[in-house]
Amino acid sequence: MILCIDSGNSRIKWDWHDGQSWQGIVAVDHQNRAKMAELLAGAAMPDRVMLANVAGAEAGAAIRAALGPWQARLVEVASTAAAGGVTNGYVQPERLGVDRWCALIGARALQAGPCVVVMAGTATTVDALDAEGHFLGGLILPGYELMRRALARDTAALPLAAGQHTPWPRATDDAIVTGCLEAQAGAIERFARRMGGGAICLLSGGAAVAIAPHLDLPCRAVDNLVLEGLRCLALANGPCGRNG
């Protein structure tokens, strides 16, 4: 049994893989991360614990404390020049965010051929992976919710919009929601066009369900690409498997 943990900007998410399937994602906000130990209590010690942490040293220390004796099985992943069938094209490979790195490895395991790997969380990352598994580069932009909240926080008259997407917004809330969603979709589609035809979009993260209906390109939703990548790295001495 493998325990995979994704410590992101806003939440810690984890899931167990038994060699056949995932058991179900559990998540806590960072302000409630003390609950992690309680939620893990009673489970049998995993064979391996894989961690991708972009939330800093304090979050890492809290996760290790929650793991208790399981720390003996912990592997904290870092970005490298190559792993899991992916070659890292970053100028400084170790500077690529480990969440993006794991998502690329997860995408390579799940999808043959070229793909656009999108993580739609607090930030939205849009990364290119070619048919040979080369990471070509990518974008980082404010996530959908961050865009929406920034307009409410940093302008004098705009609300925290609770509108809906519409082709011709005629109310302020609708205009904000539509603008933020189309900014996300437009960045993804513009980036995908650079790859030419044949690339599929793999879309993961909390805002994926909001963005996906507005994308005009082949798209596949994945519950958590970071966890998929961690699973593959845990199985580095054997095949990760590819579905699709």
Structure tokens belonging to residue 91: 């100028």
| Catalytic residue of the set 99, 154, 216, 223 | 99
18 is catalytic: no
Residue with tokens 């008259």: 157
| SS3 call for 104 | helix
Structure tokens belonging to residue 97: 């965010």
Helix, strand, coil shares of the chain as percentages rounded to 5?
A: 40, 25, 35
CB neighbourhood size of 131 (10 A) = 12
The candidate with the shortest Cα–Cα distance to 4, out of 208, 212, 240, 200, is: 240
Q: How many Å apart are CA 10 and CA 119, to the nearest integer?
A: 13
Torsion region of 68: left, alpha or beta (phi above 0 gives left; psi -120 to 50 gives alpha): left
Range 66-71, long-range pairs (CB < 8 A, 24+ positions): 66/33, 66/34, 66/36, 66/37, 66/40, 67/40, 68/37, 69/45, 70/3, 70/40, 70/45, 70/46
What are the catalytic residues? 99
